[in-house]
Amino acid sequence: MLKVKDINLYYGAAQALRGVSLSAEPGKVTCVLGRNGVGKTSLLRAMVGQYPIASGSIMFDGADISGLKPYERARRGIGFVPQGREIFPLLTVEENLKTGFGPLKRDDRNI
């Protein structure tokens, strides 16, 4: 399970996320919705380690991953495909997701 608890994220003096919490359970769909500029992308980038959080925690399978580097989180199976064609525009969504399989053992490669 992925669990985000009370995270805060800043861009300089501007606070982008304030006390955000959510959980995503295996086998269930979790959706983050909101209008432009409310922090959806900041939240996702914080979860994968691209943006450091100021406080709170990000847990994955019971372990605190808040301090892990993005590649360490990716090795555990955490990643996201941004909207639009920011990865490989000629690949399908499934093919884009499979590009992240590199660091995983063959038995761990599933979508």
Per-residue pLDDT of 52-101, as tens digits, reads: 999 999 999 999 999 999 999 988 988 877 776 567 778 887 887 787 77
Residues 87 and 76 in one domain: no
CA distances for 32 relative to 20, 63, 86, angstroms: 11, 22, 19
Which position has the token pair 């093919």? 95
Residues 33 and 75 in one domain: yes
pLDDT of residue 86: 64
Residues 55 and 107 in one domain: no
pLDDT of residue 96: 78
Residue 68 tokens read as 């892990």
Residues 76 and 87 in one domain: no
pLDDT of residue 49: 95
pLDDT of residue 45: 94
Burial tier of 47 (Cβ tally within 10 Å: 0-12, 13-18, 19+)? buried
Residues 54 and 74 in one domain: yes
Residues 87 and 33 in one domain: no
Total domains in the chain come to: 2
Render pLDDT for 23-37 as a digit per residue (tens, 0 to 9).
Answer: 999 888 888 999 999
Q: Tell me: pLDDT of 110 over 90.
A: no
pLDDT of residue 14: 94
> Could you list the residue range(s) of the whole structural domain that residue 99 is in?
83-111
Single-letter amino acid code for the residue at 4? V
Residues 28 and 10 in one domain: yes
Distance CA 44, CA 39 (A): 9
CA angle 2, 80, 58 (to 5 degrees): 30
CA distances for 101 relative to 8, 26, 28, 97, 107, angstroms: 30, 18, 21, 8, 11
Q: Tell me: pLDDT of 51 over 90.
A: yes
Residues 75 and 88 in one domain: no
CATH of the domain at 36: 3.40.50.300
